[in-house]
Amino acid sequence: MRCTRIEKLLSDKIDGVLSRRKEKKLESHLLCCQKCRSYLEDLEKLSQVAGELEVGKVEDNYWQSFTSRIKQKVISFRTERRKQTSYSGLRWAWIGASLVFIFLLSISLLHFRPERNREFYAFSYEDTLQLLYQDAGENINLGDLIENAILDSIEHLIFYPEESSLPGMSGLINPWDEFTVEEINLILSGGKKNES
C-alpha cells in the first residue's frame, strides 16, 4: 500500500473509525515504514495540542447571565408572537367579514331587486300625476280624480303604446290581454259604469 493512502488511514486511526481489516494492513505497513510512523507521531502530537486549546477568559457568571438573557429574549419573543398572531387573526377576520358583506350585498342587489309591474308605470304616468297633485290641493273629491287619472293613463297606454314605453319595460305591451271584457267596456265608455 502506498504511503499517501496510509496517511488517510492514519487520520482515521486517530479518530477511531478504522475497520479491523484496514488496521491490520496499516500495522503491517507501519512495521516497515519509518516515514509513516513519523507521520503518525506528528498527527498524534497535533491532536494532543489541539485538544489543549481552550476558550479563555469566560467567567462562570457569564454562563448564568447567558441563560437569563436567553430566557428574557424568549419571553419577549413569545409576547411579540402572540401580538402578531392576534393582530393577524383580527386583520383576517375583518378582511373576511368585509368580503362576505360585499358578496351578500352583491347577491341581494342581483336577486332581490324590486320588480316593477306595468300598472305601476301606468299609474305613475308623469304628466297625469302632476296634474292630479295640482288638483288635489283644491279638490277634495280625490276618489274621482284618482279614478279619472288611472283611466286616462290606461287609455293613453292602450292607444299610444309607443309613447308609453317607460324605463324598465321591455318592448310594447298588449294591455287588452290584461283586462276583462267588462273592464274594456268601462275604459272605452270613459270610466262611466254601465248602470243598466
Of 69-77, 84-92, 140-148, 171-179, the window that binds other proteins (rule: CB under 8 A) is 69-77
At closest approach, how far in Å is the CB of 20 from other proteins?
Answer: 17
Q: Are 190 and 151 in contact (CB under 8 A)?
A: yes
Q: For other proteins, which residue of 1, 28, 77, 133 counts as binding (CB under 8 A)?
A: 77
Instruction: Of 162, 94, 150, give the one whose Cα is nearest residue 119.
Output: 150
- How far apart are alpha carbons 115 and 119 in whole angstroms? 12
Applying CB under 8 A, among 2, 21, 57, 111 the residue interacting with other proteins is 57
Residue 148's nearest CA partner among 168, 170, 129, 169 is 129
CB-based contact 118:169 (threshold 8 Å): yes
Q: Which of 24, 45, 91, 116 binds other proteins (CB under 8 A)?
A: 45
Note whether 150 and 132 are within 8 A (CB): no
**Does the protein bind other proteins through residue 124 (CB under 8 A)?**
no
Is residue 39 at the binding interface for other proteins, with CB under 8 A as the rule? Answer: yes
Binding-residue total with other proteins (CB under 8 A): 34
Segment interacting with other proteins (CB under 8 A) among 62-70, 91-99, 134-142, 161-169: 62-70
DSSP conformation letters of 103-150 = HHHHHHHHHSPPPPPHHHHHHT-HHHHHHHHHHHTT---HHHHHHHHH
Give the nearer residue to other proteins in terms of CB position, either 54 or 195: 54
The residue type at 102 = I
Task: Tally Cβ neighbours within 10 Å of residue 166.
Answer: 15
Answer yes or no whether residue 83 interacts with other proteins by CB under 8 A. no
74 touches other proteins (CB under 8 A): yes
| Contacting residues toward other proteins, per CB under 8 A | 7-8, 11-12, 14-15, 17, 39, 42-43, 45-47, 49-58, 63, 66-67, 69-71, 73-75, 77-78
